[in-house]
Structure 1
Amino acid sequence: MSPTNKDEANRCLLIAKNHYGNGNYSSAALADYPNGKSSSSSSSSTTEKSTPTPARDEKKHSPEQIKAVQTILACGTDYYKVLSLDKKCTEVEIKKSYRKLALQFHPDKNSAPGADEAFKLISKAFTVLSDPQKRVIHDAGGGDPEQRGNASSGFSGFRSYQHPGFGGEDVSPEDLFNMFFGQGGGMMGGFNGGGGGFPGFSSATFVGPGFRTHTFHTGTAGAGQRFAQHQHQQQQQQQQRQGQGNHSRWAILLQLLPLLVFFGYSVISSLMTDNTPPFSFQPTPIYSHPRLTETHNIPYYVNPKTFRATEQNKHKLSRVEQQVVMDWVRGLQHSCQAERKERTAKVRAASGVFGIGRDEKQYQEALSWPTQSCDQLTRIGYSKDY
């Protein structure tokens, strides 16, 4: 028996056993190849009754996934629309939307036609909107700011995004996804390793419709050295800023120093100066000792406890008495002005209007109205001023 006939016989035998087990004895007899029945007829009948099964490796996708992919691709370079955000969105909202859409359109989660392109477009939108400079350019003119700046096309602009976790290296859309959803699930989740360094990191590569991850191992010393240099640079910058701040404060203090000195001198002088008058024209419990000036014999009162030093010093005593005379004369001058105004008013009242209705008696009394202060100024020789 040839190998082909042997395989056909085994297949027919298997079919016959199935029919026999189900109680279909006539079909089991027809399917028995050694009894001379044509295996082609039984094979065709069996084939007609059986239904083909889909391939195990064929990925299914729902109509909703197809529609979602089409919606993303229809957004074009309107990256706010791609991430379902508005122009006032914050950095936290951008990251949150990217995480959600990246999981939804990842090739392992969505096998609809165009899902790869939609995932790349979502990553591109995150790359642009998460960079402040690129976001400003995109807001000003729309579209892809990297294509306008580098005259490039496609998705080459993905390589321009930098993240401190990669030491300033360009990051692709695959790297972006790994940063969010790699080992650890955080922004730095794509790095493997603990301890005191960065011994390795994971990245992803699109190969056809599939999605392949790789782990790259780097030397701990090199990564640790770069990290130490970065920390040292930050410390130097912070020290420079502190130095500039201290210099500015000292400059402002030097500019204000003259004003502070003048203000302090004024305060100290006011505290040390005794503003208490040395005399009074009226007796009080403090100014209880009466005195007369050497000139004009003007009476005044002093504090006997504090005036003793002034009495012993002729120069000080002379200055005090000069001040007594000046104040006394000034007071008489004000009183004299008031007396003259009052006398003038009385004279006018008694004179009538243009001499009509003049009261001679009141007029004479007004002319002789006493002005004691003016008389005292005349006696001491100060009437020439009035």
Structure 2
Amino acid sequence: MNKDEAERCIDIARKAINKSDYHKAIRFLNKSKKLHPTPEADGLIQLCEMNLKHKPASAPSGSMSSDGPYKRKAQDKPAEEEPKKKNYTADEVKLCTQILQKTNYYEILGVEKKATEAEIKKKYRKLALRLHPDKNNAPKATDAFKKVSTAYMCLSDAKKRDIYDQHGTEDNFRQNYGQYFREEEEFDPFDFFDIFTGGNMYNQRVRRNNYQRRQHAQNQGNQNQNPLAQLAPLFFVFLLMILANIGGNFATGSSYSFTMTSEFNQKLISETHHVKYYVDQDTYNSLIQNDRERYNIEGTIEQDFYKQNLKECRYNKDVQSHWIRQARYYTQGSHKYNQNIEKANLIDLSSCEVVQKMKETSESNRYYNRRTGW
């Protein structure tokens, strides 16, 4: 998903370059690098910077100043761009009010908790188009637009959605993981909408600049926060590992566990993949007397074991990738570079080995493969 979004950012940047809006291009190229670093993005940034050096001081209308993403030269804003009072309907005000009163991301987007990614995307697009300040002129349209975008950013990301589902409301979610998801407070919802639509919807210049000035004022205050807050993303990385391990201890059903507990204290080992699992005394007595029942339940147990190891494998690979990305910010061979690479190499990928071994076993056993659906 990150790679696709990064490519869309590059596409938007190319369009901006064609219009000589190099500041906007650089902004989207930096977003692209954050999502998925590529030599193409680096090359285009160099091209933009070179053009800016040989460009007259006057920037194109709607571009950002070189002083920062939220500062703007006075001469860049023609008088006719001043916001004008516009009409809006009672329905538009009602929609904004309804969105702002909700705290559950699923309710904000109007989808069920079991909604698919496609359903969530469809709902976001529909609401974003109705709430976009260039279309909806109600007083709270910008805030409602941002709230919808924030909900979509969370629910469209599998990992964030998994964490969010454990808390259920925006307040609880932010209280526990607000530092990690701070980008949802800092991101520009208009840029996000540009990425989502390919940069072809609406003229967002005036509304975006108003929003960015407010955000800049907030960011100035945040710069004095405790520097330990910068470690929050790393804390979350390790939290993912902990959650993955916790999730692996219990099966999706409540009839068995992969670790011994006071309730599940009778040990059994599955026949095909030799998975160790525990059941209660009654289930144990039933299974050792009925081979067919045991054979059937072990198919489900092995599937659960496979899925949970696959989930843990993906989490740990993401953690490893994080440290590798961190290393790229430093010169190869430097202390910081080696330190991050060492952390990446220390990540436990034994769950990935389990997944690979189970795949090989099931592929060699065609009947088992058909029975389990692997």
TM-score, length of structure 1 as denominator length: 0.31
Higher relative contact order (Cα pairs below 8 Å, separated by 6+ residues): 2
Bigger Rg, structure 1 or 2: 1
Higher relative helix content: 2
